[in-house]
Amino acid sequence: MHPNLRFVFIFLISLIAFSTARAQDNGSNSTDPLVRVLLTKGLLTTEEARSITMKASPAEQRDRLATLLRDKGVISASEFEAVRTVAPNENVALKTMNADYRSSAPEKPAAAPQPSPPTVIAAVAPVRLLGIDTPKREGLIPDIRLGTGARLKLYGIFKTSFIHDSSSPQGNDFPLPLLAADTGPNNSPEFHLRARGLRLGANFEWLDPAPKITLTGKIEFDFEGDFTRVNNRNISSIRSSQPSIRLAWVRIDRRFNDKTSAFALFGQDWAPFVSSTMPNMIENTNFGGLGYGAAYTRIPQARFGFNHKFGGWRDFRFGPEIAIVLPAFGDLPTDVTNQTGFGERQGADSQQPGVQGRAVFQWQLDKAASVSPAQFIVSFEHARRRAIVTAANVPAAFRAAFPSGAEVGSSSNGFSVEMQLPTRFVTVVSKYYDGSDLRFFFAGQLLSNFNDTARLTGTASAASIDGASTVVFGLLNGLPVVAPQRPVRGQGGFIQFGFPLSRIFNADPKGRNAGWTAYLYYGDDQATARDARRFGARGARSDLFSGNIQYKWNQWITFAYEQGYYRTRADNRAGILPLFRGIPSFTAHNIRSEFAAIFTF
């Protein structure tokens, strides 16, 4: 707080104590003028103003006002201690205003953070260590304080990468499963210099009057969106990607006691299903996902959870969660106008939300210094979709049977098991998932659903209302029917080993060699071969071997190099083999090299 403002608030609190003392000396019980001013300006509610002056000595009234101003974020904890200190002859204890709004004993002054040099190099921490405890109230050290009382902490990351792919037939600067397109006479190699790896965000905290309530939030966006096509960007579209929202949510935590708490989160966050663990990779457009084993997604949701500390030598904790999510499938409209208008609609057309849940078990596996806790996570998901065919699009031979149009749908179901096991020598992160129609989670070789035309005769097809699906009509035992749509089943996962090289080799924690780490990764993603053939896909499995080494030069700058071998294998019984280098091939591969300079703040 600005020194002048601090002086004003100290003066105001002293003034109310003086005014109240005069009022009591005169036998007056009227409300203090300063309280009325603060009430008029909206800094106090009527109930708060009444609670300040009711049956209280001047010192108690001063402390009550200081407490309210602190809880509202008007003054800091240290300023609160400065203005509420009582003289030795007063010796007045703070009385409880309301058990849910403040504690009965004064808080200790907040100690100013004192930076100290590290004494030990930290072990490799998981990329996404899930919070299993209530966020600490006033734990956010803000960069900005808003007039509403909100506290903001800004952060960001910027990465510049040199990338070479030995085979990138789709033209992307990130890897996708191969065999989806002909590479031409060669492997279709490419070179990219990517500077769109910019991510910006802010963490929020609001101080609720109730000390057992913690309000936090986050907003984060990056420039991984599409490339622009407008008159002032057509020529330069290759370097003009657009920003898009990654995360945007508000969370309410309620602490019941020292061991138990609950929370509710509203907004877009990482999905509870299959998104709890991520590998540490330099390629961060898909993190080894998009068909290579590291399934994940972010999704709009309302999530509710419960956390409990069992304690003990290993500090065991447990947190179950359940979420209502947007039913999303990734079935994109063929008309770009529709896609830009509503993205996709088949999940929403089911008229029911998706449901996801997870349970997190946490304990301290290695009790050495600077080692993160271990976590074991299980999760599930379920969602429905529906494809609609309008009456005008029903094939002529079937209009009499379906005069009003037709509908057909399918489900997405999945479960996952994830682990992150940090130790002082190596950190192991792994994931396994299994399910049906996992396209939206960038898994199952990104395949969705197919028309089951078995035993149907006289078939004819029609486009769905959004153009995202082809619906098949046919005759079953002479009766007109709509072919059922079946989800493509899939499974996969990954395992990654992270090695704190500097710690293993006893580097000086305060020296320039304290920031060396290395990672080894293997991921695999596959669709059930039978389902993939019926979908019409030629590739049924992709896997990735990769390794990277990182050097954290200081707390802001990291240099890294990653080498990956991406491979896609075709189904031997798919019929016509896809072309790779112009030759029918069972296997295609891409050797990808990336060097990056990463800046964080």
What tens digit of pLDDT does each residue of 184-233 get? 788 889 999 998 889 999 999 999 999 999 999 999 999 988 888 788 88
What's the angle, vertex CA 403, arms to CA 398 and CA 408, rounded to 5?
75
Distance of CA 85 to the CA centre of its chain: 43
Same domain, 341 and 226: yes
- In 3D space, the residue among 90, 101, 81 whose CA is nearest the CA of residue 58 turns out to be 90
Same domain, 178 and 43: no
Cα(377)–Cα(493) distance, rounded to whole angstroms?
14
Cα(371)–Cα(422) distance, rounded to whole angstroms?
6
- Residue type, position 409, single letter: G
Q: Which is higher by pLDDT, 382 or 335?
A: 382
Q: What is the mean pLDDT of the segment spanning 171-187?
A: 80
Cα(8)–Cα(344) distance, rounded to whole angstroms?
55
In a domain, 504, yes or no: yes
Same domain, 42 and 151: no
Same domain, 196 and 313: yes
In a domain, 107, yes or no: no
Same domain, 483 and 593: yes
Cα(394)–Cα(403) distance, rounded to whole angstroms?
8
Positive or negative torsion for Cα 513, 520, 367, 270: positive
Average pLDDT, the chain: 85
Q: Which of 50, 84, 118 is the last residue of a domain?
A: 84
pTM: 0.79
Number of H-type helices and E-type strands within the chain: 8, 24
Return the pLDDT at 21. Answer: 45
In a domain, 552, yes or no: yes
Structure confidence by residue, pLDDT tens digits, 77-127: 656 666 654 434 433 333 333 333 333 344 444 454 555 667 899 999 999
Q: Which of 57, 84, 111 is the last residue of a domain?
A: 84
Same domain, 55 and 182: no
Same domain, 77 and 174: no
Rg (C-alpha) for the chain, rounded Å, is: 30
pLDDT of 507 over the 50 cut: yes
CATH of the domain at 167: 2.40.160.10
Residue at token pair 């009382």? 149
Cα(390)–Cα(61) distance, rounded to whole angstroms?
71
In a domain, 563, yes or no: yes
- In 3D space, the residue among 542, 533, 598 whose CA is nearest the CA of residue 569 turns out to be 542
Same domain, 274 and 154: yes
Q: Report how many domains make up the chain.
A: 2
pLDDT tier, 74 (very low <50, low <70, confident <90, very high otherwise): low
In a domain, 89, yes or no: no
Structure confidence by residue, pLDDT tens digits, 458-491: 999 999 999 999 999 999 999 999 999 999 999 9
Same domain, 208 and 350: yes
In a domain, 131, yes or no: no
- For residue 154, count other CB atoms closer than 10 A to its CB: 12
In a domain, 593, yes or no: yes
Q: Do strands 427-436 and 539-552 pair parallel, antiparallel, or not at all (unpaired)? A: unpaired
Q: Which of 84, 100, 118 is the last residue of a domain?
A: 84
pLDDT tier, 42 (very low <50, low <70, confident <90, very high otherwise): low
DSSP 99-114: TTTS-SSPPPPPPPP-
Return the pLDDT at 332. Answer: 86
Structure confidence by residue, pLDDT tens digits, 509-527: 999 999 999 999 999 999 9
Same domain, 267 and 401: yes
Same domain, 155 and 60: no
Same domain, 34 and 153: no
Return the pLDDT at 190. Answer: 93
Measured distance between the N- and C-terminal CA atoms of the chain, rounded to whole angstroms:
23
In a domain, 269, yes or no: yes
- Identify the domain containing residue 12 by its residue range: 3-84
Return the pLDDT at 300. Answer: 98
Burial profile 232-246: b = 16 or more Cβ within 10 angstroms, e = fewer: eeeeeeeebbeeeeb
